[in-house]
Amino acid sequence: MRILDEFVAVTGYHRKHAMRLLRDGRTGKQSGPRLARRLYDEAVREALVVLWEASDRICGKRLKPLLPVLIEGMERHGYLQLAAEVRAALLRVSAATIDRALRRVREQAGGRRRAVPSAVRRSVPVRTFSDWHDPPPGFFEADLVAHSGPKASGSFVQTLVLTDITTGWTECAPLLVREQGLLVEVLTEMREHLPFAVLGFDTDNDSVFMNETVQEYCRIAGVEFTRCRPYRKNDQAWVEQKNGSVVRRMVGYRRFEGLEAAATLALLYARVRLFVNFFQPSFKLAEKTREGARVRKRHHPPATPCQRLLADPRTPAAVRDRVTALKANLDPVRLLVEIRAAQQRLVALADKPMTGDAPAPTLEVFLAGLRTAWKEGEVRPTAQPTVKAVRWWRSRRDPFETTGPLLRQWFDAEPERTGRELFERLRAEHPGVYPDGQLRTLQRRLKGWRREAARRLVFATSTVEPGFATGAEVPYGAAE
């Protein structure tokens, strides 16, 4: 201690710094930046990109628990052949490292309220968000998602969404029209495809749910029928979340109408239900506490609805066997290929006047593109913007239909004349025919003629662009 005191007094160093110097002679901090150890090489990152694409680009926290299932499924079907060290590294990589490794890849990839029968609504019990108290699998929240596009007028297809409270199991089915009888028939079909029984049916206050037909159907089927509070969407937070993460993510926001669109949606949802419920982990809220103005939420580890269903001790043995047998034969990559093909058909139907039907990708092409699909940005066809049509038709009669050849003669004789000079000359020969607003139309016509003359000078050709020699109007936007 005396040596240290004297050393500090002589040098003026801080006592801790002096202790480090006397202990090992190092100053504590290195002069240059610390070099981080690379635990995962480029092979691991390339495999992560392929697995991320095969999982439909979910986040690292959801991808981490899916990796063992996804790797096993892709290796079983011959899509992956991983070295032992790469496979071991993928199984031990953390969620934060997954997000860090995929950061550059992600950066480049890029109603009206209706009247409700008050008697039926009063007879249906209200269930709020806090009233569930961990029910067994089989209690579903239901909602409708409208595919009306930018305008809600006319008839359009809607999607009926069912979400199980305990497991997050989600089922979707299209409704051609909003009609209670059709809704009951679709609900009956959905119950037959569910691996477990429907015990509860919780809806909002829409008239398509709040009616005697649905109420009587639930009573005969032995299903508990409840509803949320009006204008309280958080009472149906489970299904409202799936409206965005499943329906809008898979279908988008285009307008779909008619039998063909409904049939294509049904084909898409038949694949989506398997892909989402068996290969898409999701978070589930475990606890929510409020400390003043701050709300703290704690979530269960990410898991697929299938994993939650099998892990629940209340699940019957017959249901477990049925789900396990179904899971063993599923191919996640083939499901994703079929989802992309159905999405392309939906986009072709919605944008039929403007775009043609794009060819559906084959399994081999899709698998080969998993490594580099992130370079093309958004890959879901339903999330890509609508292609706008170029207007080629005339919206009004050509004002220079009769005098076009004469104007062309004047222009060929004196190409240096401005549009205003030619317009004033034309008005002098045809008084009272052309108002002031026609000057801009003539100037656009001259712009096309001058471009044609410049092209002849540069390329030594006499090709005349369609519409200019006859005096026809230039298509809207073509002159630019």
CB 48 within 8 A of CB 102: yes
Q: What is the helix, strand, coil percentage profile of the chain, to 5?
A: 50, 10, 40
Q: By the 8 A CB rule, do 472 and 405 touch?
A: no
Asked whether residue 357 carries a pLDDT value surpassing 90, the answer given is: no
Mean local confidence (pLDDT), 307-317: 94
* pLDDT band (50, 70, 90) for residue 463: very low
Residue 157 in 3-state DSSP?
coil
DSSP label at 164?
E
For the record, the structure tokens of 204 come out as 């909002």
The DSSP code sequence of 292-349 is TTEEEEEEEEEE-HHHHHHH-TTS-HHHHHHHHHHHHT--HHHHHHHHHHHHHHHHHH
Position 416: which residue type?
E
User: Is 23 buried (19+), middle (13-18) or exposed (0-12) by CB count in 10 A?
Assistant: exposed
Q: Let me know the angle formed at the C-alpha of 16 by 11 and 21, rounded to the nearest 5 degrees.
A: 60
379 vs 176 pLDDT, higher one: 176
Q: Which residue has the higher pLDDT, 388 or 59?
A: 59
Q: What is the pLDDT of residue 471?
A: 42
Predicted confidence (pLDDT) per residue in 55-66, tens digit? 999 999 999 999
Q: pLDDT digits over 2-21, tens only?
A: 999 999 999 989 999 899 88
Encode burial over 406-427: b for 16+ CB neighbours within 10 A, e otherwise. bbbeebeeeeeeebeebbeebb
Q: Model pTM?
A: 0.69
The two three-digit tokens of residue 123, written as one number: 């007879």
Cα–Cα distance measured from residue 73 to residue 332, given in angstroms and rounded to the nearest whole number: 7
Measured CA to CA in angstroms, residue 416 lies from 40, 339, 374, 480 at distances of: 69, 60, 53, 21
Question: Kind of pairing, strands 200-203 and 139-146?
Answer: parallel
Quote the CA–CA distance of 370 and 343 in Å, as a whole number: 18
Confidence of residue 194 (pLDDT cuts 50, 70, 90): very high
Residues 172 and 269: their CA atoms lie apart, in Å, by: 6
Q: What is the pLDDT of residue 30?
A: 52
Q: Which domains does the chain have, with CATH numbers?
A: 118-274 (3.30.420.10), 390-480 (no CATH)
* DSSP per position, 388-423: PPP--S-SS--TTTTTHHHHHHHHHH-TT--HHHHH
What is the secondary structure of 30-57 as a DSSP string?
Answer: -SSPPPPP--S-HHHHHHHHHHHHHTTS
Cα–Cα distance measured from residue 225 to residue 127, given in angstroms and rounded to the nearest whole number: 10
Token pair recorded at residue 157: 């297809």
Half-sphere exposure of 20 (CA within 13 A, CB side): 8
